[in-house]
Amino acid sequence: MTKSVLLTLGRLPKGLDIARSFHRAGWRVLIADPARDHLARSSNHVAQVFRVPPPATEHVVYLDALRHLIKYEAIDLVVPVSEEIMYVSLLGEDPLLQERLFSMRADLIHRTHDKGAFITLCKSLALSVPETARSDTEDAIKISQSGPFIIKPIHSCAGDRVSLHEKGAIFNADPDRLVQRRIIGAEVSTCSLARNGKTQATSIYRGTLMGGTVAVGFERIENETVQRWVDHFIQATNWTGFISFDFIIDAEGTPYAIECNPRTTSGLHFFETDDLARAILDDTHEVRFRPERRMMQFWSCMEELQKGFGNAQKTRAALDHLIACRDVTWAWRDPLPLLTMPWTARDIIKAAHRDAVPFGIAATRDLVWTGAGETVHDPARPV
């Protein structure tokens, strides 16, 4: 009998990668997404799509809708894709659903998403992180007076509301924001797949073309020090599921983790699509890398090309990606998601233009976990 997998987001290319992988492995693929249209809806690898309430504003009804789908569609496995994991992980509190959910337990998902609690956790594991403090504390003032610093929300994604400041700059005391020492160096990110504290695969990559605060072009690199950092964290927390980190590597080569995304990121695209489902189902399955070192998001690069008219450097950078890089969404056996994306993503595109924010921020506003007022779990619960 064909097994069924439910992916809890269909609007992003990384979700499409997972959908294609499970389809090729012989599974029936279903998608639950609050959007009326989305990227995966037009995929011939997806059997059925369902529209569910937005978790950021209706998380109780959202979870009830997922439970309904799991029961009546006979779902064998639930795979979260992006920010919605903050809510989907709560399903794991039900013993009947726990074994069907490919996710770390909810308390640790929430703890690592909390940028302050994540730093505290890393310090307890003797992992390198920058000095960080809530902006309404004396420690925050000390950080701001010691050198350049960053202010960021405790809960956010895609670089939303992050600001850079010079030494001694005055800032408002806000318990929902952090002050973090600014590390000067190269920015890199990771995306890992893990099971019971064992790293199955990690891609390390850097952004090569930015759309605001979000990378739309990427290059896979190697860095043994970053790999060891990631492996240490995964082993120490006994992590299961996807997990991603953002690092700054200083002049001495030390990687400082500035935040954690307890989910997939664009680094997922560097894994061979066929290996994703098999690795999720079998922790002994080896995950290969795609042969391409550089990849891009076609429509986002086209937008950067348009924005770059009149600026030779920006125009060349966008053209270089469009000519030399593989698109993350394109597949000859499944062409419609890329071709129809301007239509299926029209609501996100309109919101991004209207509010002058990157696509990545507009695409997750109905998914983000907003913090203490709505938090079901205590993010500081011990590992």
pLDDT band at 242 (very low <50, low <70, confident <90, very high): very high
Contacts of 237 (CB under 8 A, 6+ apart): 104, 108, 121, 125, 197, 383
Percent of the chain residues topping a pLDDT of 70: 95
Percent of the chain residues topping a pLDDT of 90: 82
pLDDT digits (tens, 9 = 90+) for 249-269: 999 999 999 999 999 999 999
Give the span between the Cα atoms of 137 and 3, in whole angstroms: 52
pLDDT digits (tens, 9 = 90+) for 140-168: 999 999 999 999 988 876 556 788 999 99
- Average confidence (pLDDT) over 59-75: 97
CB contact at 8 A, 246 and 171: no
DSSP state for residue 50 in the 8-state scheme:
E
* pLDDT score, position 37: 94
pLDDT band at 38 (very low <50, low <70, confident <90, very high): very high
pLDDT digits (tens, 9 = 90+) for 6-15: 999 999 999 9
The torsion defined by the Cα of 156, 81, 204 and 328, in degrees rounded to 10, comes to -110
